[in-house]
Amino acid sequence: MQLGMIGLGRMGANLVRRLRQAGHECVVYDVNADAVAMLAAEGATPADSLEDFAAKLTTPRAAWVMVPAGLTGDTVFKLADLFESGDIIIDGGNSYYRDDIHRAKALSEKGIHYVDVGTSGGVFGLERGFCLMIGGEPDVVKHLEPLFATIAPGVDAAPRTPGRSGAPSQAELGYLHCGPVGAGHFVKMIHNGIEYGMMAAFAEGLGVLNNADIGRAAAAGHDAETAPLADPQYYQYDFDIPAITEVWRRGSVVASWLLDLTAVALVEDPELGSFGGRVSDSGEGRWTVLAAVEEGVPAHVLTASLYERFSSRGESLYADKILSAMRKQFGGHHEKPST
């Protein structure tokens, strides 16, 4: 089957490679001509403009947009100007599901179909396959199924769940038509909200392990900034955290791909010296929390993990200064000045 790919960064390029390995034809375009040339050298059909891209696709066209966040809407609408009724535009980025709903409505006036695909797997997707969460019209999603089946990891990526037998379902193959337009990105949004929570759980637990030698510092003298440690004898452990993440990978309840990646990170940089501790976020966690608020559903862990990212970037500094100022006012306590 033929697919056009716009956006040949790590994700887009690897999607093309995975499709090509299975014999699908790919027409590729990116504003970076070098990225186009690299995939052309691997056998993809290059396009040197959006117009050229649209012209090289056979109707009904199917184009996957995988451009950096912020450029997706513009790219979708530019492409829609060149496309005809019956053509399909797939947004495989991390778009807000509400944008999908608006875009699909606008495109439908021209008869163009819009499919949203939450794509998980990151830089490992070429080898492992990408988990796909899909939203769109059933017949359009069905038409694209050979592409989704190729991109997805396949049934062997995980042991079959006891109780499931016979021909593997879509979900067992690693892709799922989740519902109408927006449903794919809604599911991906919540996936990423969970990702924030799981990451924060590992980070906080390892942080507590990392401080389990605090009893030694306490023996050397009490720091007036914190309450005295009641029993320093209980905090005399100098844990090997890379080794702990490694042992947890084998047979423990918290074994997971996220833990595997944490173990890799700690082998590469045991002291984490290459990180400043500022954690970015690109919107999915915020949208998850907004959805929880609007649904009136508690999401304690996911909300706390989002706020931790804000704190990591110094966004709690003003509030922390207010805390110090109040404590000094009512108690006359000494609070350390800014450094």
Ligand X SMILES: O=C(O)[C@H](O)[C@@H](O)[C@H](O)[C@H](O)COP(=O)(O)O
Among the listed residues 89, 120, 122, 93, the one whose alpha carbon sits nearest the alpha carbon of residue 106: 89
Least spacing, CB of residue 209 vs ligand X, in Å: 23
Q: Which one of 172, 188, 284, 308 is the catalytic residue?
A: 188
Among the listed residues 15, 23, 11, 24, the one whose alpha carbon sits nearest the alpha carbon of residue 94: 11
Q: Is the dihedral of CA 169, 170, 171, 173 positive or negative?
A: positive
Q: How many CB atoms lie within 10 A of CB 99?
A: 16
C-alpha pair distances (Å), 62 with each of 16, 174, 178, 203: 13, 21, 20, 41
From 17-25, 207-215, 281-289, 300-308, span contacting ligand X (CB under 6 A): 281-289
Q: Which one of 109, 110, 195, 336 is the catalytic residue?
A: 195
Nearer CB in complex with ligand X: 229/304:
304
Nearer CB in complex with ligand X: 128/143:
128
27 in Cβ contact with 7 (< 8 Å)? no
Least spacing, CB of residue 235 vs ligand X, in Å: 32
Total residues at interface with ligand X (CB under 6 A): 11
The reply to whether 305 sits near ligand X by the rule CB under 6 A is no
196 in Cβ contact with 305 (< 8 Å)? yes
Least spacing, CB of residue 280 vs ligand X, in Å: 6
Q: Which residues are bridge partners to 63 per DSSP?
A: 4, 89
Least spacing, CB of residue 223 vs ligand X, in Å: 34
DSSP letter at 59 equals S
Q: Which residues are bridge partners to 132 per DSSP?
A: 119, 175
DSSP assignment of 199-241, as one string? HHHHHHHHHHHHTTTHHHHHHH---TTSPPPS-GGG------H
69's tokens: 């966040």
Per CB under 6 A, contacts with ligand X among 122-151 are 122
Least spacing, CB of residue 132 vs ligand X, in Å: 11
The reply to whether 284 sits near ligand X by the rule CB under 6 A is yes
The reply to whether 195 sits near ligand X by the rule CB under 6 A is yes
The reply to whether 312 sits near ligand X by the rule CB under 6 A is no
Least spacing, CB of residue 284 vs ligand X, in Å: 5
From 22-30, 54-62, 140-148, 275-283, span contacting ligand X (CB under 6 A): 275-283
For ligand X, which residue of 21, 49, 282, 311 counts as binding (CB under 6 A)? 282
The reply to whether 280 sits near ligand X by the rule CB under 6 A is yes
Interface mask toward ligand X for 83-122; x: CB under 6 A: -----------x-------------------------xxx
- For this structure, is 188 an active site residue? yes
Pairwise CA distance, residues 50 & 295, whole Å: 40
Please report, as ranges, the residues that interact with ligand X according to CB under 6 A: 94, 120-122, 192, 195, 280-282, 284-285
Residues marked as catalytic: 188, 195
